[in-house]
Amino acid sequence: MRTAAIVFLRLLIGGLFLWAGLSKLGSPLQTLATVYSYQVVLPDLIASLVAASLPWMEILLGTALLAGIWLPVATGWTATVLVFFSMMTAQAWWRELPIDCGCVDLSVLHPALAALTTPGGATLRNLVLLVLTVLLAVLARKRAVV
Amino acid sequence: MSKLVAKILFFPLAALALGAAYQAVHPEGLWTLRTGQKAYDDGFERVTWTEVQPKVSSGDWLLVDARDEDQFAAEHIPGAVSLPAASYEEMLLFFAEEHGREKPVVIYCGTEDCEMSAELAIRLRDEAGLKEIRILEGGILAWRRAR
């Protein structure tokens, strides 16, 4: 049961991260525009570094989770990235910024899921994913100990 | 212990290295635009959306979208015409013939800094001979915020 839960969470979170990363690769400028749209004061060089490296961070973490490689480190980084995402979307939500979250648009699965790309919906999604990632880390750690 | 540290450092360092390399080879790579921005940063007046809106509405200024056609198709400021910054010179000349070289234009792109706008501005001035070129401060984001 525990193994099944671990595999399910790895596939879910890893798949979403890989999808998110790959979907950003085609349009670097759009990714940079999304970074700027959060209106957090960043030097241009830092904003560019975030826009350049973020898709690859998502791809690497998604691949590691899907493959089950270095799980403790991969879940740790995934949780860190999700905390960062949650803070960004939450501040945009609080400030009522008209942003596109830059995240995977799940409305291709169901139109109602388009709500998850709004700042509020994205914050909620990030927090749920954060909880699931922590759960994955705990389950994977317990299995390693056992 | 050192193995764990290496694993922890692997993800951000690999992401940075892959990201930097990918941007260097991608046609819209951010590093190229950064270099372009430094080269083309001077000489064009930056105008805010508040200044632009009435001039565009009255038809005095022409709004030009410097992003690629896909981005223009996905979303653009109403009334804008598409002229990607990477257009062939023939396209720039055709644009100048169609709209006239004396018509004031305001260029925008997708980012806050508008690197492509500056790139297109200098091409329209030098290659197509346009006389009056301005750049929309904040790009399309300024319009989005004002909506």
B92-144: per-residue pLDDT in tens? 899 999 999 999 999 999 876 657 888 888 889 888 899 899 999 888 888 88
Neighbours of B75 (CB within 10 A): 13
Spatial distance between the Cα atoms of B147 and B145, rounded to a whole number of angstroms: 6
Mean model confidence pLDDT for chain B: 84
pLDDT, residue B139, reads 87
Contact state of B16 with A44 under an 8 Å Cβ cutoff: no
Q: What range defines the domain where residue A72 resides?
A: 2-145
Place of tokens 């055709």: B94
- Taking the CA of residue B17 and the nearest CA in chain A, the distance in Å comes to 8
Q: Which of B18, B28, B144 sits opposite A28 (nearest CB)?
A: B28
Distances (CA, A) of B103 to A121, B59, B88: 44, 10, 21
What's residue B112's pLDDT?
A: 63
Q: Is B134 exposed, middle or buried (0-12, 13-18, 19+ CB in 10 A)?
A: buried
Record the pTM. 0.63
- Split at pLDDT 50, 70, 90, the class of B40 is very low
Residue ranges of chain A with per-residue pLDDT less than 70: 98-102, 143-146
Average pLDDT over residues B33-42: 42
Mutate to test the interface with A, among B112, B114, B120, B145 (most CBs of A within 10 A): B112
User: Considering its fold, how many domains does chain A have in total?
Assistant: 1
Query: What DSSP line would sit under B13-74, residue for residue?
Result: HHHHHHHHHHHHHSTT-HHHHHHHHHHH-SSSEEE-HHHHHHHHHTTSSEEEE-S-HHHHHH
pLDDT of residue B73: 86
In chain B, the domains with their CATH numbers are 41-146 (3.40.250.10)
CA distance A76 to chain B (A): 9
